[in-house]
Amino acid sequence: MSGTLRPKTAFWRGLRLRCAWCGSRRTFIRHWLGKYPRCRTCGLEWRREEGFELGPVALNTVITFFCLTVGMAIGFVVSYPDIAVWPILLSCIAVAVLLPILIYPLTFTLWFAFDVLAHPPDAAELAEARAALAAGWEHKAP
Ligand SMILES: [Zn+2]
């Protein structure tokens, strides 16, 4: 990786479930709800600091609450004056349960993009990532 990572590039990669740093599809997303400890291409750890998971959880919560608010507002406006309480309620429950699962990996790749932009990996972290790749960590991962 040479040069500086541009925000547009990093977030675009994150939106497509790619590693924000190297752009690879072979990132730390293992399956929809699972993760490898590192990007399988560049070797960077996604948990770059203690409590990293709070970022994706917060992002997931904000996106879900935003969609619930917009959905309720549309439901109220469309069905006014006889507000369709049950359809709106059932729709909101479905969104509240399914949307966080649907966007779960996306929140991690997007937060990883934000994280590598906020404090890009230094030479020591990149060297450690290369060393982990060379050591074949992926084949030892559970
Ligand atoms: Zn990577």
Using alpha carbons only, what angle is made at residue 92 by residues 74 and 12, rounded to the nearest 5 degrees? 80
Average pLDDT, the chain: 93
Q: How far apart are CA 59 and CA 84, in angstroms?
A: 29
Residue 142: which pLDDT band, with cuts at 50, 70 and 90?
low
Q: How far is the CA of 63 from the centre of ligand 1 (A)?
A: 25
Q: How far is the CA of 15 from the centre of ligand 1 (A)?
A: 14
Give residue-wise pLDDT tens across range 6-59.
999 999 999 999 999 999 999 999 988 999 999 999 999 999 999 999 999 999
Q: CA 111 → CA 26, 53, 77, 129, distances in Å? A: 17, 9, 34, 19
pTM of the model: 0.88
Question: Domain-by-domain residue ranges, the chain?
Answer: 7-140
Per-residue pLDDT at 121 exceeds 70? yes
Backbone angles phi, psi at 38, to 5 degrees: -135, 160
The percentage of the chain sitting over the pLDDT mark of 70, rounded to a whole number, equals: 95
Please tell me the predicted confidence (pLDDT) of residue 139.
Answer: 65
